[in-house]
Amino acid sequence: MRIALMVIRLILKVPYYFFQIWRCGVSNKVSYEEAFQLIKMITKKANHAGRVTIETYGLENIPKEDGFIFFPNHQGMFDVLVFLDTCPRPFSFVAKKEASNIILLKQVIKALGAYPMDREDVRQSMKVINAVADDVKNRKNFLIFPEGTRSREGNKLLEFKGGSFKSATKAQCPIVPCALIDSFKPFDENHIRPVTVKIIYMKPLYYEEYKDMKTVDIAEEVKRRIEETIKIYNTGE
């Protein structure tokens, strides 16, 4: 219902926005930064039209230099929109391969140079991990959901998969944990009442802190930090 509300309230501009995002994905004249700023602007308008308010905390924790990876908990399709709305720095992301077949989302994937991953295909997954690591070394930022799939238990987290952190260890880059609260509500709850989503950008783990840790241990530590942060900020429960 909320997606329908977004479309209805922006109905006159939807064709133009769709064309612009498509153009970003197929034209070599549009830079990655320009594509990001366009998609960010459209996301802000869509969220406003959908009556979604996003409270943002911890922007000062985002590393000053590019070449880092966000690792948030995963609650649903709205999660990426939270980051696009609030993050001041361009980033790309890793998505499930099924997302590359969803209209508009597949255009965003092309525009931002995102990577669809088939978690059932080990060889393809390793190619994505290596490609992300190379991009991060070249000062591109990424968003990876270490749960692999969205939690269907509200603000409770699923297991964080160690393999999700291999790109970070290969790139030796800062790991930025991020806590999402109530991000499942805009698209999973069947109503169009105003909703508030919270995102907390947390202090990063730098390579010197995790270089001697196994990826499964990094996953457990990031999960622990996010869970603690959700307890602090989730005043609605």
| pLDDT band, residue 236 (cuts 50/70/90) | low
pLDDT at 237: 53
Laid out side by side, the sheet with 115-117 consists of 52-57, 195-201, 175-181, 69-72, 142-143, 92-96, 115-117
Residue pair 129/58 in contact (Cβ under 8 Å)? The answer is no
What span, in angstroms and rounded, lies between the C-alpha atoms of 206 and 174? 4
Over residues 25-46, the mean pLDDT reads: 94
What percent of the chain is predicted at pLDDT more than 70? 99
180: tokens are 């999402």
Structure confidence by residue, pLDDT tens digits, 136-164: 999 999 999 999 888 888 899 999 999 99
The DSSP output letter for 160 is P
Question: Do 153 and 47 touch, CB atoms closer than 8 A?
Answer: no
Give pLDDT tens digits for 65-119: 999 999 999 999 899 999 999 999 999 999 888 877 777 788 899 999 999 998 8
Q: Distance (Å, rounded) from C-alpha 194 to C-alpha 206?
A: 37
Cα–Cα dist 163/215, whole Å:
7
* Burial classification of residue 206, based on how many CB atoms lie within 10 Å of its CB (0-12 exposed, 13-18 middle, 19 or more buried): middle
188-223 per-position pLDDT tens digit = 998 999 999 999 999 999 999 999 999 999 999 999
